[in-house]
Structures are given as C-alpha cells and as structure tokens.
Amino acid sequence: MVLTVSTVQVPKTFQIRTFGCQMNVHDSERLAGLLEDAGYERATGDEQADVVVFNTCAVRENADNKLYGTLGHLAPQKAAKPGMQIAVGGCLAQKDRSEIVRRAPWVDVVFGTHNIGSLPVLLERARHNEEAQVEILDALETFPSSLPAARDSAYSGWVSISVGCNNTCTFCIVPSLRGKEKDRRPGDVLAEVQTLVDEGVLEVTLLGQNVNSYGVEFGDRLAFGKLLRACGDIDGLERVRFTSPHPKDFTDDVIAAMAETPNVCHSLHMPLQSGSDRLLKAMRRSYRTEKYLGIIDKVRAAMPDAAITTDIIVGFPGETEEDFQGTLDVVRQARFSSAFTFQYSKRPGTPAAELPDQLPKAVVQERFDRLVALQNEMTHSLNIEQVGRTVEVLVATGEGKRDAETHRMSGRARDGRLVHFTPGDTAPRPGDVVETVVTYAAPHYLVADGEPLSWRRTKAGDRSEAGIKPKTAGIGLGLPSFGAPAPLPAVSGCAAQ
C-alpha cells in the first residue's frame, strides 16, 4: 500500500475588530464579504486568526493611543504565529498612512477609506513580497456597496445611501478622511434593500454621513423623502430607520414621509452639538437653536410618539458658562429620549484645534457631568411615561447583558428603546416579533415582565435559529456619478410642496 500526503490546504482565518461609527460597522461587513470571497474563513472561539483587520476611527483624541496600544499587545502573538498578518484600515489609516508602519513595523497592510476593496490583493502582495503594503487613495475607488458583504445580523441590515460629507464643521475630521459626498443611485439603494428583505431581514437602517442631504449630487432636494416613501412599498420590510441627518437639510417633506409611511419608524437621531448660537457659528453648524427646536416641534406635531435622540459636545473652545447653560436649556426644551454626549476632543488638522481658549479638562469634566445628570433625568422621566403601554419588540441578540440571570430576552421597540422582556410560555428567537406591555422603566431601558400579548415567528427568526446570516453581492456597477440616476417616484401632497 502506498501512503500519500494530503495537499489540501486549510483555509486561512480572519478576524475584524471595528472601532467607531455605524459606517465603520457596515464597512466591516464589506471587508468580511471580500475576505470570504477570497477564500478566508471567519475565526471562531479563542483561536488566533491568521489575518487580523482593524477598521479604525479617528474622531476621538484617544483613537490613536487605543490602536497603537492594541497593536503592541498583538506583536508577540504575531511573532509566535508564522504567517500571521495584520491589516489596518479605516479613518485613522487614511489619516496616519505610512506612520502606522513606522510606529508598528509588524503591520503588513495599511489601506484607507477609499479603497477597502483592495484588502485581499494587498494581503497577498504583502505575503508574496514579504514587506508591508501601504495603499491610500485620495478619492473613492468604488462605492462600498458595490462590494460583497457578510452581514452581522439575520434580521437587521445597514444600507449606505451616500458616503462622504460636504459640510465643514470645525471640530470634525471626517470630511478630510471620507471625502466629498457621493450619492448612490436610488435604484441601487432599493435593490439592496429588496435583496436583504428577500433574505428575511425585517429592518434596514439607511446610512450616510449626512443622510438627508441625499440627492445633492444629482440635483433632487426631495430625494431623501422620496426614498423613504419608496421603502414603504417593499413588501416584508417592517422597519426603516436612518442616521444621521443634519438640521440644516431637514425639510418638511421628510417629516411628512416619516409620518405617512407605515414602516418608517418614529425615531430620529438629529445632532444638536451645542445649544449656544455663538458656538454653533464657531462650529460652522449652519443652523441656530430656534431652527433646531422648530424642527423638533414639527416632528412631534406630526408624530407625537417620536423618540428623538441627539449628539452634544461639551467644552468646545471658548465655551462659557452662559454657552453651556444654553445647551442645558435646549436639552430641557427638546426632551431627548437619550443623548450621546462627548467632551470636546482636539483633532489635529481641524480648524477648531487652532482656536484660542481651549478649556481646562477639569472645567469640561464638571460641565459634562452636569449635562449627563440632566439627560439621565430626562431619559428616565420619558421612559416612565412608557409604563403600561404596549410595545412591539423585534427580538435581538446581545442587547441584554444580564438576560441569562434574569431569565429575560431583549430587543428594540419601534421607537428604538431597549426593552428587556420575560418570554413566559413563548420561545421567541432573535428576529421574531413580540408584543408586550411595559411594567417598569429604568433610566436606559424598559422592562416588560408580564406574559407577551403575542409572538410572531418570522423568516429572520428561522434563519437566526439556523445560524444563517445574509451574504449579499455588491449592488451597482461602480461610482454613483456614472450616468444620471433613474428618477424616484413622483410625490404628491405635503412632500411635493
């Protein structure tokens, strides 16, 4: 008998570590799809992956320290595993470029926000040439949504409608790293949404750095409202969300589309940043508090049940106590259901970094603590109003840290609030839908401890139970600026005015 040695190669494994915003989370789904198409497999359990990819963020000041510290911890693991590769992409890679390899010479690949599709080729080139590959483009190579994506969820999906930003906010480094706004063709967006729904997805979130300026590239200022209405015509799509809009572009037709399209959720995340008109001007935020609060009033008039969230920066250069009190006043008037609050972070390359009157850390921290205390009080008060109400919950996975010990499950209500509920005699899966009654309100979540009123099994739940997540091919043929887009459906009534 002749013994033969198998030449079958074991596929290389990968792990992606994501930092930052929803755009980065969705980009990581694209990176996973690219690597899977190139023959890699996702690492499982505690195994050390053959390829570790960092998809980075550059918005916060400590982003650099966090990345380089993590790379330092990974260096001995790479030394102990021949053939292991490390890749760094995202906004920090776009900013630091070859500096990453200089500070961490064990990194194999550096790629930017404009060429995520190059990752598999760069990994292979680094392996073949036995030297680091740094490839940063200054303009978008291909729209990310034309790339395959290995989705993270069987029931909820991200859909990019634009990338980049045309605003010039003085505190923000994103436009210099993501570039000018590029809008996808409406037909491509809707095709991707339909593909996800065909796979069982119940909820989509439309993504853009400035989502409601969608249409600027092809000259249709009503395009975003039309897109929301068109999503309402997709059978099986139960929830539509979007993030993040800019107050300067928020128009009445969008409010009408939200109110009149049944599957568009009555939840709105709209960054405020400051309640001081003087600081808004210094930030180059082209709206003032009167306009902002006017939008809030219109949204609540059309959708009294709307949950409105926001972003707020504390300690912008030159902020006085009077400026800060203005922010507290707007928070009281707007009654946000929650807020993402940030201490101003000085980012090299932004105009605000050069402004005088940078505030002492102790002053910023004290104001930050006061803002958080006020917002927590507001959030808790609004949550208490939910007690006794019936809520529809899309069951999720990973939302409840203590679900196992409390014997509860968790998910999101239509307005985006986190709900921990007792399943009772039902056995819902992530992706199923339950109706239940809120029995208790905490500052950051709701509890429903009674027997669910209903439980609906879904295709998403079937696929979650089977461990199947959508894998979508790229939608579209390249850059969105090639050719004129097909027109969206005409609108009538409020949206046409």
Mean pLDDT to the nearest integer, 449-460: 96
Binding-site positions read 21, 57, 91, 165, 169, 172
Cα gap 359→352, rounded to integer Å? 12
Q: How many CB atoms lie within 10 A of CB 128?
A: 9
Angle between helices 252-260 and 223-231 (to 10 degrees): 0
pLDDT in tens, 103-153: 999 999 999 888 898 999 999 999 999 999 999 888 776 677 778 888 999
Q: Is the pLDDT of residue 482 over 50?
A: no
Position 141 scores a pLDDT of 67
Summarize pLDDT for 141-161 with one digit per residue, the tens.
Answer: 667 777 888 899 999 999 999
Q: Is 491 left (phi over 0), alpha (psi -120 to 50) or beta?
A: beta
Q: Is the pLDDT of residue 281 over 80?
A: yes
**pLDDT recorded at residue 478:** 38
Q: DSSP string of 11-53? A: PPEEEEEE-SSHHHHHHHHHHHHHHHHTT-EE--TTPPPSEEE
The 10s digit of each residue's pLDDT in 39-84 is 999 998 888 999 999 999 887 767 777 888 899 999 999 999 999 9
Strand 267-269 to strand 307-314: parallel, antiparallel, or no bridges (unpaired)?
parallel
Q: Which amino acid is at 279?
A: L
If one looks up domain 151-265 in CATH, what number appears?
A: 3.30.750.210
Q: pLDDT tens digits for 175-206?
A: 778 888 999 999 999 999 999 999 999 999 99
Domain boundaries in the chain? 13-135, 151-265, 389-467
pLDDT tens digits, 302-320: 999 999 999 999 999 999 9
Question: Tens digits of per-residue pLDDT, 428-441?
Answer: 999 999 999 999 99
The percentage of the chain sitting over the pLDDT mark of 70, rounded to a whole number, equals 93
pLDDT of residue 8: 52
Residue 164 — very low, low, confident or very high, per pLDDT cuts 50/70/90?
Answer: confident
The fold of 389-467 is: OB fold (Dihydrolipoamide Acetyltransferase, E2P) (2.40.50)
Residue 476: per-residue pLDDT: 52
CA 125/CA 53 separation, integer angstroms:
16
CA distances from 301 to 256, 414, 450, 477 (A): 11, 18, 32, 41
What is each CA distance from 151 to 55, 119, 156, 496, 497, in whole angstroms?
16, 18, 9, 36, 38
CATH of 13-135, one of 3.40.50.12160, 3.40.50.1820, 3.40.30.10, 3.40.50.1010: 3.40.50.12160
- Quote the CA–CA distance of 447 and 454 in Å, as a whole number: 16
% the chain with pLDDT above 90: 71
At 234-265, the pLDDT tens digits run: 999 999 999 989 999 999 999 999 999 999 99
- Contact predicate 326/253, CB 8 Å: no
Round the average pLDDT of the chain to a whole number and report it: 90
Per the DSSP assignment, residues forming a β-bridge with 394 are 412, 433
Phi/psi of residue 113, each to 5°? Answer: -75, -20
Of 46, 40, 5, which is closest to residue 127 (Cα–Cα)? Answer: 40
Residue 474 pLDDT greater than 90, yes or no: no
Residue identified by tokens 């109706």 is 435
The span from the CA of 86 to the CA of 88, in Å, is 7
pLDDT at 404 (0 to 100): 83
Q: Extract the annotated binding site for [4Fe-4S] cluster.
A: 21, 57, 91, 165, 169, 172
Q: What is the pLDDT of residue 59?
A: 75
The answer to whether residue 9 scores a pLDDT higher than 80 is no
Q: What is the mean pLDDT of residues 476-495?
A: 41
- Which pTM value belongs to this model? 0.85
Instruction: Give the max Cα distance, the chain.
Output: 89
User: Does position 233 have pLDDT exceeding 90, yes or no?
Assistant: yes
Q: What is the pLDDT of residue 179?
A: 84
